[in-house]
Amino acid sequence: MFLKSIFLLPSPAMTKKVVLNLRSFRQKANRNRRSFRRFLTKLEKNLPRNADQLTPVLEKQVWKEVDCLNCANCCKQMSPTYTAADIRRISIHLNMTTDAFKTKWLYKDRSGDWMNKSTPCQFLDLKTNKCNIYDVRPADCAGFPHLSKRRLKDYMHVHKQNIEFCPATYKMVEKMMEIA
């Protein structure tokens, strides 16, 4: 695929609402994840000059098309990383000690991060796709999927992981491919 030295920024008219079918998303993401990752690797090596201007524009378009309440796939298939502040805040909210909270729901992974023991997340309401601790949820959940959190170059590895789980990330990369 040929990559231009700048992205041509898309017009708002290119967005439309889509109804998300999680099962077909998973099949599509599974089929296309290699080609999407290849695209991101090429992009990483030859990043258009205006890449960091582009991501907030694309992010706005993505959120007009994707509704997290139709999805919750991150809460169903992934675990947030809990910081010490998250654990304190949520434990207080649940009227538990931090130790009891950790013992009940978390484990420490190989890099020393606190993660959920199981999926779907214990705080997800599977009927509504809403988070039962929304106001005090981990910072990682509040910012996910971090589409334009950092410079694209520094976040490519996260997008590569998330394309198979997160329809919003998938859509953003798909939009980049359309204009590259």
Contact residues for ligand SF4 (CB under 6 A)? 66, 68, 71-75, 80, 121, 123-124, 131, 133, 137-138, 141, 144-145, 165-168
For residues 4 and 64, which CB has a smaller minimum distance to ligand SF4 in the complex?
64
Smallest gap from Cβ 171 to ligand SF4, in A, equals 8
Query: Sign of dihedral through CA atoms 95, 98, 104, 106?
Result: positive
Smallest gap from Cβ 15 to ligand SF4, in A, equals 15
For residues 46 and 125, which CB has a smaller minimum distance to ligand SF4 in the complex?
125
Cα–Cα dist 100/145, whole Å: 29
For residues 71 and 173, which CB has a smaller minimum distance to ligand SF4 in the complex?
71
For residues 48 and 101, which CB has a smaller minimum distance to ligand SF4 in the complex?
101
What is the separation of C-alpha 69 from the centre of its chain, rounded to a whole number of angstroms? 14
Cα–Cα dist 109/115, whole Å: 7
Smallest gap from Cβ 80 to ligand SF4, in A, equals 5
Smallest gap from Cβ 123 to ligand SF4, in A, equals 4
**Helical H runs in the chain?**
22-45, 51-65, 73-77, 84-93, 98-105, 139-143, 152-162, 167-179
Please check whether residue 27 is in contact with residue 21, taking contact to mean a CB–CB distance below 8 angstroms: no
Query: Which are the contacts of 59, defined by CB distance < 8 A and separation ≥ 6?
Result: 147, 148, 172
For residues 131 and 176, which CB has a smaller minimum distance to ligand SF4 in the complex?
131
Smallest gap from Cβ 75 to ligand SF4, in A, equals 3
